[in-house]
Amino acid sequence: MIKTRSVVYLLCGIIFCLPSAFSQTSRPNVVIIYADDLGYGDVSCYGAKKVATPNIDRLAKAGMRFTNAHTTSATCTPSRYSMLTGEYAWRKPGTGVATGDAAALILPGRSTLPLVFQNAGYKTGVVGKWHLGLGPQGGPDWNGEIKPSPLDIGFDESFIMAATGDRVPCVYVENRRVVNLDPADPIKVSFKEPIGNEPTGRANPERLKMKHSHGHDFTIINGIGRIGYMTGGKSARWKDEDMADIFTEKAVSFIEKHQAEPFFLYFSTQDIHVPRVPHERFAGKSGMGPRGDVILQLDWTVGQVMQTLDRLNLAKNTLVIFSSDNGPVVDDGYQDQAVELLNGHTPAGALRGGKYSAFDAGTRVPFIVRWPGQVKAGVSNALVSQIDLLASFAALTHQTFDATTAPDTKDYLSAFLGKDKKGRDYLIEHAGTFSIIKGDWKYIEPSQRAKKSIETNTELGNDPQPQLYNLAKDVGEKINLAEANLEKVKELQAFLKEVKEG
Ligand code: NG6
Ligand code: CA
């Protein structure tokens, strides 16, 4: 009798608990804070000693810190393309680093990460760096309506810069329009030939407040030479020093505005990409020059988002991801003393290579997931890829997606939530050259490309010979074991071929 009664109580309990448990755990707010060019070793919770990132550390302390999380590519555009579409960028030609006037790379009519959330009834927003092209073939009309834009592929609201801080046009785009544009002073942009007669870094170096070390010698905007020519749009031009404040303010107001409904915010910071121009609150504060200062600024940004979630009582029901789009680079084209003032800091931690590299520092990045009550605090060594966020969040929010347009994303939700500590069986990295990680092994395909970038002083991981590393024993990829393990090389070669053709 007692037994029957307790079973009945138990069943009633389950039935009554279900709706609330279901809604709590299947519709959390989701915020992805996506840093630019932040290396595995650039934050203190990943071992940095020379620079402190207390807010990012606090996020890590309350959440799961991943040690083996990857972007799909060692540069921005392809990493973001893969994360937002669930398709490896290398399957689609033209997804390398995009120019500032590139046409939209992600077109309407396919599954996307924001669309998964939109279909699940979320309000969706993107703030910060886009770098996935805008407008039709031939590029966007900067002086008119910008379409396609993020609004056409799943975002309800958008406040972005088109490409990068170092590429023209140096203006913000809100939804379909350039912000503060004076129609009497139209914007023209060219990446091919000079337009207008504004000074350039090449012709007028005396006008620069930050000199270039390589490239970046076209139109000077705010005292900084950029990639590409721009004329007009004077009232719309950004001031680099204020950019972190402006993007953070937009991210915070998006959260405030949608606090009463589920929301998804893709907050893609311009920090710590070049040009590194901190606000005066951070300038000179790290002792490592602008590169260190913008790490402090990035940490402040993360703190502002966390404070907002606390203030609005949303922290508990918000899943926050913090990560980066590719590995670190020290000299990426400006003389900003990043090299001289590094002061023993190791942006890639114990990893080899960096941004642009087939070695692991190219794609292995900080990755933190915080979701109080749902994700235990700790460290996970699971092998995870940002490409799987689409399928995993579709699983979380009980949505389906079109696997023909998003063929490479897989549901690894339980790995992202820190429950499955193994993650993927294999993972593909791309830096022009392909690599595959499977179990403890990493294979880098033979490549005739340069072994080193002289400009950025990065080991690119290319070698005409096959490379095989045991990451469990040799995370720094120092000892090439290919010759002694030809069977393993063959196995991974065949497997990589299969994935490429699949
Ligand atoms: C390179 C730029 C580099 C950076 C990179 C893109 C030069 C010499 N170098 O071509 O400064 O802008 O493109 O970086 O122009 S990413 O993080 O957006 O992929
Ligand atoms: Ca980047």
> In whole angstroms, what is the distance from residue 45 CA to residue 55 CA?
10
Question: Can you tell me whether residue 170 is helix, strand or coil?
Answer: coil
Q: How confident is the model at residue 24, as a pLDDT?
A: 55
Cβ atoms of 366 and 38 within 8 Å: the answer is yes
Query: Measuring from atom 17 of ligand 1, which residue has the nearest CA?
Result: 76
Q: What is the ipTM of this complex?
A: 0.99
For residue 459, how far is its CA from the centre of ligand 1 (angstroms)? Answer: 16
Q: Is 469 helix (H, G, I), strand (E, B) or coil?
A: strand
CB 106 within 8 A of CB 140: no
Tens-digit pLDDT profile for residues 29-61: 999 999 999 999 999 999 999 999 999 999 999
Could you give the CA distance from residue 310 to residue 317 in angstroms, rounded to a whole number? Answer: 11
- The residues, any chain, with a CB within 8 Å of residue 12's CB and separated by 6 or more, are none
CA distances from 414 to 134, 207, 316, 418 (A): 34, 53, 19, 6
Tokens 């998006």 correspond to: 254
The answer, yes or no, to whether any atom of ligand 1 lies below 6 A from the CB of 333, is yes
CA nearest ligand 1 atom 12, residue: 166
3-state secondary structure 368-419: EEECCCCCCCEEECCEEEHHHHHHHHHHHCCCCCCCCCCCCCCCCHHHHCCC
- Whether 131 is in the pocket of ligand 1, judged by its Cβ within 6 Å, is yes
> Which of 71, 151, 153 minimizes the C-alpha distance to 112?
153
Residue from 97, 216, 329, 355 to probe ligand 1 pocket by mutation (most atoms less than 8 Å from CB) = 97
Cβ(95) – ligand 1 distance below 6 Å = no
**HSE-up of residue 432 (Cα within 13 Å, Cβ side):** 15
- Ligand 1: centre distance to CA 131 (Å): 11
- Which residue minimizes the CA distance to atom 16 of ligand 1? 76
Is 28 close to ligand 1, i.e. is its CB under 6 Å away?
Answer: no
Q: What is the pLDDT along the chain (502 residues), one digit of tens a residue?
A: 344 444 444 443 344 434 444 455 779 999 999 999 999 999 999 999 999 999 999 999 999 999 999 999 999 999 999 999 999 999 999 999 999 999 999 999 999 999 999 999 999 999 999 999 999 999 999 999 999 999 999 999 999 999 999 999 999 999 999 999 999 999 999 999 999 999 999 999 999 999 999 999 999 999 999 999 999 999 999 999 999 999 999 999 999 999 999 999 999 999 999 999 999 999 999 999 999 999 999 999 999 999 999 999 999 999 999 999 999 999 999 999 999 999 999 999 999 999 999 999 999 999 999 999 999 999 999 999 999 999 999 999 999 999 999 999 999 999 999 999 999 999 999 999 999 999 999 999 999 999 999 999 999 999 999 999 999 999 999 999 999 999 999 999 999 999 999 8
Question: Does ligand 1 lie within 6 Å of residue 274's CB atom?
Answer: yes
C-alpha 373 to ligand 1 mean position (Å): 40
Nearest to 322 by CA among 42, 65, 68, 24: 65
Compute how many other C-beta atoms are within 10 angstroms of the C-beta atom of residue 494: 9
Residue having the nearest C-alpha atom to atom 4 of ligand 1: 332
The structure tokens 């073939």 sit at 137
Cα–Cα nearest to 187, from 143, 134, 147, 151: 143
| Among 436, 417, 464, residue whose Cα is nearest residue 358 | 436
Q: Which residues contact 464 (CB under 8 A, 6 or more apart)?
A: 446, 447, 448
Output the pLDDT for position 212.
Answer: 98
What was the pLDDT predicted at 6? 44
**Pocket of ligand 1 contains residue 80 by CB under 6 Å:** no
